[in-house]
Amino acid sequence: MNARVEQLKSTVSETKATDIRAAFAADPARFSKYSVTLDDILFDYSKCAVNERILHGLEALATEAGVAKKRDAMFAGEPINFTEGRAVLHTALRNLANTPVLVDGKDVMPDVNAVLAAMGAFSDGIRSGTLKGATGKKITDVINIGIGGSDLGPVMATLALAPDHDGPRLHFVSNIDGAHIADTLKLLNAETSLFIVASKTFTTIETMTNAATARKFIADALGDAAVANHFCAVSTALDKVAAFGIGAERVFGFWDWVGGRYSIWSAIGLPLMIAIGKEKFGEFLAGAHAIDEHFKSAPLRQNIPMLLGLLGYYHRNVLGYATRAILPYDQRLSRFPAYLQQLDMESNGKGVTLDGKPVDGNSGPVVWGEPGTNGQHAFYQLIHQGTSVIPAEFMIAANGHEPELRHQHQLLMANCLAQSEALMKGRTLEEAKAQMASKGMDAASIDKIAPHRVFTGNRPSLTFVYDKMTPFAFGRLVAIYEHRVFVEGALFDINSFDQWGVELGKELATGLLPVVEGKESAAGHDSSTEGLVAALLKAAK
């Protein structure tokens, strides 16, 4: 692997691959060579620093790392999340072909279909008003209480599919900070509110604490008995849900082979289903299923998640870029970068390989971003002229949902395309000088100012274009990124499906709670922690 990476580094310098601008000038067919079409999706990676030799090298890397074999093992339900002894089968949740998917010899599809049907009946009941609050009123507000994968997926998806939202209002409470639930409760009428407690483990302190606060809100307003009508739960831990007091008919299960950050397709998607209805939720699943089939069968040079993963690995480990920016030109994808942060960084932010050795090179990059055009007026300066190269990932629909605002969509498209063109082309010193001269600037000023107006260019980006952000299109986009994370994890040779890295902080927080409550001394902690505790307690009222 290491030898292959070194070879790729040599190929980059021998072929001057990072001179993307020159590559475009030399080859008029570059776009058609380095772009892929799948139905209405166009994936353009021609503005990345690739050429035939590099793509062959990356293909060889994928073969050596056994990416296709690992992919097939995932779809086959093998326990590839070996540190937790689990299969990884979020793909079964959207297996609309309904072909058997075996875990320990048992077909999981009947259970998957049964939960989906129960979610459908429940969401129909809430949407139509046949399932009412304790005082007989229709539910107008649904509040999802969850965190991480039990929050980011539904919150991001509900925003993304806002044009399809015709169900009750949705709210999301995640943070342990009491401000989050307090601000939400202020907006609610207990009689018309339904709380969904969403937690895979049903032990997460944030979710359990917020659920207890919400329960008190209902009990104080309507009495204890009303809790039954105003709560439901989504979890793999059915015994713990029962202990909380939520009736079995209001509990939607999923399974340990669904990772939290891959769970939007499971009952964790219930808020989305309530918002858009079960039919459109089905279209969302269908979009992801279409990508699963594509990922399994398309040849590498046509396979969008494979190419995206290989490019991600190339950027991180061959070219050494430490971050990547997710830049959707779609305001409704405003939480997509945050969603991908969890998906990608919780999956691939690992330091040891499958056999417990230090990762050879780097694992996953820092993922961040904001929708365009807002980001253009904030951090794009650094992407264009800063000293770090940051691969940018653009996404744009050909059609917005507001035909009456077509001109605004045209401005959006023009901006998106302008950014990737500017990143690639840049502006040379000569071009900067010529431009200034054409505006009548004097020679001395030109010499002084021109260097500040230079853009190095050759900054990589890739772009997704699609017809319109429908539930189907959205399901495809999310699944493409899921599989991209898989491909990169396979190349890093890590387990992308555990998350031990979040444990230590949780353990220490448990130990620090009695300290900040003033019940235990901070002695024994490091002097910084001791000092911080003292300052907080001194100021506490």
SS3 content of the chain, % helix, strand, coil (to 5): 55, 15, 30
Q: Does residue 266 bind ligand F6P (CB under 6 A)?
A: no
Q: Is 280 a catalytic site residue?
A: no
SS (H, E, C) 158-212: HHHCHHHCCCCEEEEECCCCHHHHHHHHCCCCHHHEEEEEECCCCCCHHHHHHHH
By CB under 6 A, what part of segment 481-540 binds ligand F6P? 499, 502
Whole-angstrom distance, CA of residue 140 vs CA of residue 191: 9
Q: Does residue 261 bind ligand F6P (CB under 6 A)?
A: yes
Give the residue with the Cβ less far from ligand F6P, 266 or 470.
266
Whole-angstrom distance, CA of residue 91 vs CA of residue 265: 9
CB of 501 to ligand F6P, least distance (A): 9
Amino acid at 374: N
Among the options 69, 106, 357, 506, which is catalytic?
A: 506
Q: Is 165 a catalytic site residue?
A: no
Q: Does residue 149 bind ligand F6P (CB under 6 A)?
A: yes
Both tokens of residue 347? 């999956």
Q: Does residue 204 bind ligand F6P (CB under 6 A)?
A: yes
CB of 499 to ligand F6P, least distance (A): 5
Among the options 191, 206, 283, 346, which is catalytic?
A: 346
Least Cα distance to 230 among 218, 240, 241 occurs for: 218
Q: Does residue 371 bind ligand F6P (CB under 6 A)?
A: no
Both tokens of residue 101? 């998917």
- Within 10 angstroms of residue 338's Cβ, the number of other Cβ atoms is 18
Q: Does residue 349 bind ligand F6P (CB under 6 A)?
A: no
- Within 10 angstroms of residue 443's Cβ, the number of other Cβ atoms is 10
CB of 392 to ligand F6P, least distance (A): 27
Q: Does residue 200 bind ligand F6P (CB under 6 A)?
A: yes
Give the residue with the Cβ less far from ligand F6P, 255 or 472.
255
Q: Does residue 154 bind ligand F6P (CB under 6 A)?
A: no
| CA dist list (Å): 344 to 21, 91, 331, 360, 499 | 30, 17, 21, 18, 11
Both tokens of residue 186? 């202020």
3-state SS assignment for residue 392: strand
Give the residue with the Cβ less far from ligand F6P, 67 or 181.
181
Are 21 and 458 in contact by the 8 Å Cβ rule? The answer is yes
Backbone angles phi, psi at 140, to 5 degrees: -110, -20
Q: Does residue 364 bind ligand F6P (CB under 6 A)?
A: no
Q: Does residue 335 bind ligand F6P (CB under 6 A)?
A: no
Q: Does residue 147 bind ligand F6P (CB under 6 A)?
A: yes
Residues that bind ligand F6P (rule: CB under 6 A) add up to a total of 14
Whole-angstrom distance, CA of residue 339 vs CA of residue 326: 11
- Within 10 angstroms of residue 110's Cβ, the number of other Cβ atoms is 11
Alpha-helical segments (H) within 223-277: 227-230, 238-244, 270-276
Q: Let me know the angle formed at the C-alpha of 495 by 494 and 496, rounded to the nearest 5 degrees.
A: 105
Give the residue with the Cβ less far from ligand F6P, 47 or 261.
261
Name the segment binding ligand F6P (CB under 6 A); options: 79-87, 196-204, 333-341, 527-535.
196-204
CB of 261 to ligand F6P, least distance (A): 6
Beta strand 41-44 with 102-103: parallel, antiparallel or unpaired? unpaired
Q: Does residue 86 bind ligand F6P (CB under 6 A)?
A: no
CB of 87 to ligand F6P, least distance (A): 17
Q: Is 506 a catalytic site residue?
A: yes
Give the residue with the Cβ less far from ligand F6P, 149 or 271.
149
Give the residue with the Cβ less far from ligand F6P, 201 or 529.
201
Which one among 144, 199, 303, 376 touches ligand F6P, defined by CB under 6 A? Answer: 199
Whole-angstrom distance, CA of residue 517 vs CA of residue 309: 46
Give the residue with the Cβ less far from ligand F6P, 344 or 346.
346
Which one among 18, 201, 323, 415 touches ligand F6P, defined by CB under 6 A? Answer: 201
Q: Does residue 456 bind ligand F6P (CB under 6 A)?
A: no
CB of 47 to ligand F6P, least distance (A): 34
Residue positions annotated with a catalytic role: 346, 377, 506
In the complex, the residues that contact ligand F6P under the rule CB under 6 A are 147-150, 199-201, 204, 207, 260-261, 346, 499, 502
